Structure 1
Amino acid sequence: MTTPERPTPEQPASGSTLGAGPEQPPSASGPEPGGNPSEPPRRSGLRDPDRAVRGLGAGTLAIEALVLLLAIQPIRVVGGDLSGTAIGVVVALAVAAVVLAGMMRRSWTWHAGTVLQGLLILAGLLHWSLFVLGVIFALVWGYALHVRRVILG
């Protein structure tokens, strides 16, 4: 009894429709069809790496704003004394994060996002839990900056 030969990825199975359709596009490491052959191939394989990185930054800032706003009440109930000034600072930082998330097309917003993380850490002088949130989001922002550097070069 002979076993049927298994098809390789280059060789579709008989009766299969894999080879019947249009030709598969080349991998991201090869030049684009119809593109300029002198351009180097895309490093990341993303269609629009700038847009992907902007989305990462905007998403990070939006989540930070949401967490800051949602943290006000638990900090007041569990953490003790959270003054009106501290609440105002948290709301202002959340609004700043939303504004920066909406302006991620501008290159300076990455620097402003870094400043925002520093301001949140400084808000730890008003309440210790704000310092903890600042450190956590500074680490997340640092990772977003690292991903940006890797993707965009």
Structure 2
Amino acid sequence: MTGPVDERPGQGAPTEGAPVKGTQKIEGTQTEGGGPRRSGLRNPDKAVRGLGAGTLALEALVLLLAIQPIRVVGGDLGGAAVAAIVVLAVACVVLAGQMKRPWAWHAGTVLQGLLLLSGLLHWSLFALGVIFALVWVYALHVRRVILG
């Protein structure tokens, strides 16, 4: 013997062809013919811009916070190196705010090269340049995968 059947909407087993509660059918997400597959993000452009801006903002913060430890541990950090760090950090913040512009990604790549070149002023700046260049390459890879 079975109990009473609940006929209220949203209760019981879903009808055939109806989406299961909590899921959403998105047209074009997967094609059986091997066509393009969307990322599943609501706004992929905004997500990628956030990744780029976050990477640059983190880089600016690390650069500014690295000045004193480099001076204490790394030896002689001249005025030119400190000026280069401050200029690069300001450029990172400005670029982070400009990520809506398509040229900002290219400018971010140039910025990573400039940080690597600042390694001529102090070896630790080269080390930071290598680290952030690798992070930037990964961000570019994620951008290419998501946006196509």
Structure 2 length as normaliser, TM-score?
0.80
SS in 2 for 1:99: helix
Q: CA deviation at 1:42?
A: 6.0
SS in 1 for 2:77: coil
Pairing 1:150–2:145 present: yes
Unpaired segments of 5 or more residues in structure 1?
Answer: 1-13, 33-39
Partner of 1:106: 101
- Provide, for residues 80-136 of structure 1, a one-character-per-residue CA deviation record: whole Å limited to 9, x for no partner: 000011000000000000000001000000000000000000000000000000000
Q: For 1:30-109, what aligned pairs fall within 5 Å after superposition?
A: 30-31=27-28, 43-109=38-104
Contact preservation (8 Å) 2:28, 2:38: no
Q: For 1:108-123, what aligned pairs fall within 5 Å after superposition?
A: 108-123=103-118
Structure 1 length as normaliser, TM-score?
0.78
AA at the equivalent of 2:117: L
AA at the equivalent of 1:135: V
- Could you tell me which of 19, 33, 57 is aligned with 2:10? 19
Q: CA deviation at 1:70?
A: 0.2
Q: Percent identity?
A: 73
Q: CA deviation at 1:18?
A: 9.9
In the aligned structure 1, how far is the partner of 2:83 from the partner of 2:28? 53
Partner of 1:37: none
In the aligned structure 2, how far is the partner of 1:141 from the partner of 1:117? 8
AA at the equivalent of 1:146: H
AA at the equivalent of 2:61: L
Q: CA deviation at 1:19?
A: 3.4
Unpaired segments of 5 or more residues in structure 2?
Answer: 12-19, 30-34
- Provide, for residues 2-33 of structure 1, a one-character-per-residue CA deviation record: whole Å limited to 9, x for no partner: xxxxxxxxxxxx98x9933x9544244x359x
